[in-house]
Structure 1
Amino acid sequence: REEVEDRLPVSPSRVLVSPTKHLTLNINVGGTVYLLPYRLAVRYPKTRIGRLATYTDHSKKLDLCDDYVVQSNEFFFDRDPKVFHNIFNFYRTGVLSIQEELCPHNFLEEIHYWGVRIKYTHRCCRISFEERQDELNEQLKVQRELLAELELEENDSMFDHMTLGSTRRKIWNLMEKPFSSITAKLMGVASSFFVLVSLVAMTLNTVEEMQFKPSGRFYGEGVETSCIAFFTLEYLLRLASTPDLRCFVQSVLNTVDLIAILPHYLQMLLECFEDRDVHHHSGDIETVARVGKVGQVLRIMRLMRIFRILKLARHSTGLRAFGFTLRQCYQQVGCLLLFITMGIFMFSAMVHSVEHDVYNTNFTSVPHAWWWAAVSISTVGYGDMVPETNLGRLFAFGCISFGIILNGMPISVLYNKFSDYYAKLKSHEYAMVTRARGKVRFIKRAAKRIAECCCREKQTDVTENPGEPEPDRPEPGWKNWEN
């Protein structure tokens, strides 16, 4: 009974009169005093309490604690007593218990300070703790990346020590904060409008009736040039007004903006070289071949214009949340692509092995069967290639069933993460809108108060000068004040 009482927390008054003081460690953690027998502490000599019990040098003991009370031989630690209660029970029972209400990061920090390892917990408790820790780490990672993307929007103080700081701040707010003013909102609408116009012009240029004028130029070339000029001006204004060039270059949205305008200028440069080679070496066969390769590069450059649609992500919360979801779930997406690739290789080889001897078959080789396996796993099934043997049809049924199961696996994970990220982005956007409206309302209230003060001063002047005619329609507040 005395041994059990020595292990329980007691008040400082009992510590001073404890008859077993020379056999126990008096430990004060955050104001709560614990009595721990030496025989229990020395069982774990690598822990902080174990070293406190095994060291004979008093100076080394003082290095382990925050303070020492000579009168009661008490070692003081300025730590959380709630967590140390689990540490104290660990020395008594040999098992480290974990409370559900404790923060995983705080708990790991505390047990690291006391030198106790997480392996001393029961397996069931450790699995639950690691799940909560992984969930918390994922939330903190998402929060850090969201804050990193929105850091430039929030940190206006960086403009104070910059050249032309006030002007650059106005330009930055105009380009990056659409809710800061009506002009900034119109700028965002104009940017989205030009993106849509450029996409429509690019699409119509592929129509044969609208491709060429009598002069040989595209109908939509002027429209596309105007859109590129606007995108270039937009990018240069952002680049000139950014408070942090490194973050600006690393931003995904700014990279998308650069990709949207870069193909146009590369295309112009290649066309200049192509026209020069044709003009100077019109009969040279090598030059003709080189011009043909340049034409292929130009087609690729024209294809890259489709990336302009990604510029809408700057003004669309849903697109930003979708891109953020893909970046965060790259492991799940990678596993999905790996399973799809495995299924394509496996089922294409199986179907080819039973179909290649069939007369006039389309499964002439395994690479030819890849297309069939891909459309079957995706459950599209164009029908351009179908197995004819019974065993081949059985393999096709297995391929389709595998695709149905595979396509349903990542939906719940991606949807839950997308909903979470979308809600976080919308909450930040709502906070910015509320803050901007608060500033506008404050300005309006201040202007209204100034107008009321001016009106009262004018009415006071009329009262002091009775010779001047009174206003025809005095305000109700003036009548009440006069009465």
Structure 2
Amino acid sequence: QTPDFPISNIVNLNVGGKVFHIPKHLVMKYPKSRIGVLAMCEDPVRRLTLCDDYTVQNDQFFFDRDPMFFHYIFHFYCSNVLWVMDSLCPINFEEEMSFWGLKLKDTPRCCRILFEEKVDDIRESLKVNQELVNEIKPHQDEECYETMFMGNLRKVLWDLMENPYSSLAAKAFAVFSSLFVLISIVAMTMNTVKDLRDYQLGGRTYMEWIEISSILFFTVEYFLRLMTTSNIKQFVKSALNFVDLVAVMPYFLQIIFEVFFIDSEDLGAQEDLKTMARVSKVSKVLKVVKLMRIFRILKLARHSTGMRAFGFTIRQCSEQVCCLFLFIAMGIFTFSALMHSVEIDQPGTPFSSIPGTWWWAAVSISTVGYGDVVPVSYLGRCVAFGCISFGIILNGMPISILFNKFSDYYSKLKEQEYTYSNTERSFQLKKRMKRRFQSCIEPEAEESDDDVHYRPTVRHTVTAAKD
């Protein structure tokens, strides 16, 4: 039977074991709040849906909530001001406000501003931490492998190449892949030394053969990773996978240009000048394609925590970096125009035009100061001093911010790596122990009463002999 609620001028609340008494006329000022609805509700059944329990003897409504938070809610009904203390967690306090049906507009403006700032900071920190976890944890769907063709084998290969914390072999493969990247970069740079180009094998230098072997390894690794992934869209969108593709693409583009453009047109190049010009243009494109090979060093970001932390810092501070470049561009345009204006009438001045002065302004703002272009007049030197001072102040502003964030992200990334590696090791250890335990108990579980064989004792042997 549903209890009948007595009519009282006091609303008695028991929140987490602490009793609060609120006059009913104070509660009625906020009829849309949970306590206001509870005080005005005359339906016993609905009242029980608004609270956790009710006792008729004490006329108390029970709520299984934190009484520390409710102190501020109680103070709000008594003083019409909802204070937000710095010691409270903003996320939990926001949940309590939502539960009791209160609005953030009921708080004072100063508290509301601080509260919103803290909530934004916490949510941004949680977002950054989640992105850091995603940087470490490889993207895979365990359920998809169960339905895929040769799913077990593909999952093993994926963990081997993508998750270095899954096993000792995966860690060794990560080290081996990083060594291949370093070897290919060293071979690419040493191939430009003239003395080493004299040693050839099959029409190619030794360094070219080493580079070709590295390219083949990277190509096989990329296609194996592409065939074993459980989510192709996520694989294509990944920045690290795009770097892997860029690392191998220039070599194959170089082969295409050499085979289909240069070799086919070399025979008629001496007879036709247009063909020579076309070959020259193709050679320039080929130089650009060869230059793209330097992006191969970005493959180290897959196994380098520092490079990943640096890239993550640039992504998180993209607005600050864009503002920095904007201020640099504004300084270049401003000081180049000033320098041209004060130096235009000076004989022998190198600042003949504003676009020609951009180089001097860029070098001065960056505080490099080559000294290849200098002002002639004293007023021009004053403008140069102002440009250099602006560059010092401008370059010093974001360095501390970027460095602090980089060190913070790097430490968090290392912590996430350590936590994830320990989790993976414990998981693999549990799997091995479970597999060994099952292998030990399976023979006993499969035996039946009919298959049990007893070894005869001495007593059984003597009895059989007498018979």
SS for the counterpart of 2:369 is coil
Matched, 1:203 2:186: no
> 1:24 deviation in Å?
3.6
SS for the counterpart of 1:198 is helix
SS for the counterpart of 1:96 is coil
**What are the within-5 Å matches in structure 2 for residues 36-55 of structure 1?**
36-52=22-38
Matched, 1:81 2:46: no
The answer (yes or no) to whether the contact 2:138–2:162 under 8 Å persists in 1 is no
Matched, 1:96 2:55: no
> 1:156 deviation in Å?
5.8
| Counterparts in 2 of 1:179 and 1:37: CA distance versus 1, 3 Å | closer
What residue in structure 2 maps to residue 191 of structure 1? 177
Equivalent residue letter for 1:380: V
Structure 1 unaligned residues grouped into runs of 5+: 1-15, 451-483
Equivalent residue letter for 1:420: D
What residue in structure 1 maps to residue 124 of structure 2? 138
Equivalent residue letter for 2:241: N
The answer (yes or no) to whether the contact 2:328–2:365 under 8 Å persists in 1 is yes
What residue in structure 2 maps to residue 416 of structure 1? 404
What residue in structure 2 maps to residue 383 of structure 1? 371
**What are the within-5 Å matches in structure 2 for residues 435-454 of structure 1?**
none
| Counterparts in 2 of 1:64 and 1:87: CA distance versus 1, 3 Å | farther
- Taking the aligned partners of 1:437 and 1:69, their CA distance within structure 2 comes to 50
What residue in structure 2 maps to residue 297 of structure 1? 285
- Taking the aligned partners of 1:416 and 1:246, their CA distance within structure 2 comes to 34
Matched, 1:313 2:301: yes
> 1:79 deviation in Å?
4.1
| Counterparts in 2 of 1:272 and 1:64: CA distance versus 1, 3 Å | farther
| Counterparts in 2 of 1:46 and 1:350: CA distance versus 1, 3 Å | farther
Equivalent residue letter for 1:267: Q
What residue in structure 2 maps to residue 11 of structure 1? none
| Counterparts in 2 of 1:77 and 1:297: CA distance versus 1, 3 Å | farther
> 1:260 deviation in Å?
0.7
The answer (yes or no) to whether the contact 1:260–1:305 under 8 Å persists in 2 is yes
SS for the counterpart of 1:382 is coil
> 1:187 deviation in Å?
2.1
The one of 203, 209, 230 aligned to 1:243:
230
Q: Percent identity?
A: 52
What residue in structure 2 maps to residue 231 of structure 1? 218
- Taking the aligned partners of 2:49 and 2:285, their CA distance within structure 1 comes to 69
Q: Tell which deviates more after alignment, 402-411 or 374-383.
A: 402-411
The one of 30, 42, 50 aligned to 1:65:
50
**What are the within-5 Å matches in structure 2 for residues 392-407 of structure 1?**
392-407=380-395
The answer (yes or no) to whether the contact 1:259–1:307 under 8 Å persists in 2 is yes
For 1:352-380, what per-residue CA distance to the aligned partner results, in whole angstroms no more than 9, with x for missing partners? 21112222222122222222121212111
SS for the counterpart of 1:427 is helix
- Taking the aligned partners of 2:420 and 2:107, their CA distance within structure 1 comes to 45
Aligned-residue CA RMSD in angstroms?
A: 3.6
Matched, 1:273 2:264: no
> 1:401 deviation in Å?
1.6
> 1:253 deviation in Å?
1.4
> 1:179 deviation in Å?
4.6
Equivalent residue letter for 2:346: V
For 1:22-70, what per-residue CA distance to the aligned partner results, in whole angstroms no more than 9, with x for missing partners? 33444454554433334323434454444555x6774996498245748
Matched, 1:147 2:128: no
State the TM-score, normalizing by the size of structure 1.
Answer: 0.77
| Counterparts in 2 of 1:436 and 1:84: CA distance versus 1, 3 Å | closer
| Counterparts in 2 of 1:26 and 1:278: CA distance versus 1, 3 Å | same
The answer (yes or no) to whether the contact 2:306–2:410 under 8 Å persists in 1 is yes
Length, aligned pairs only = 429
- Taking the aligned partners of 1:182 and 1:60, their CA distance within structure 2 comes to 62
What residue in structure 2 maps to residue 35 of structure 1? 21
What residue in structure 1 maps to residue 451 of structure 2? none
> 1:410 deviation in Å?
1.8
SS for the counterpart of 1:410 is helix
> 1:318 deviation in Å?
1.1
For 1:400-441, what per-residue CA distance to the aligned partner results, in whole angstroms no more than 9, with x for missing partners? 222222222222222222222222222233345545666679
State the TM-score, normalizing by the size of structure 2.
Answer: 0.79
Equivalent residue letter for 1:140: L
| Counterparts in 2 of 1:310 and 1:63: CA distance versus 1, 3 Å | farther
SS for the counterpart of 1:35 is strand
- Taking the aligned partners of 1:442 and 1:152, their CA distance within structure 2 comes to 20
SS for the counterpart of 1:230 is helix
The answer (yes or no) to whether the contact 1:25–1:35 under 8 Å persists in 2 is yes
Q: Tell which deviates more after alignment, 142-151 or 29-38.
A: 29-38
What residue in structure 1 maps to residue 350 of structure 2? 362
Structure 2 unaligned residues grouped into runs of 5+: 440-467
| Counterparts in 2 of 1:68 and 1:175: CA distance versus 1, 3 Å | closer
Matched, 1:106 2:92: yes
Equivalent residue letter for 1:164: M
| Counterparts in 2 of 1:75 and 1:224: CA distance versus 1, 3 Å | same
| Counterparts in 2 of 1:203 and 1:81: CA distance versus 1, 3 Å | same
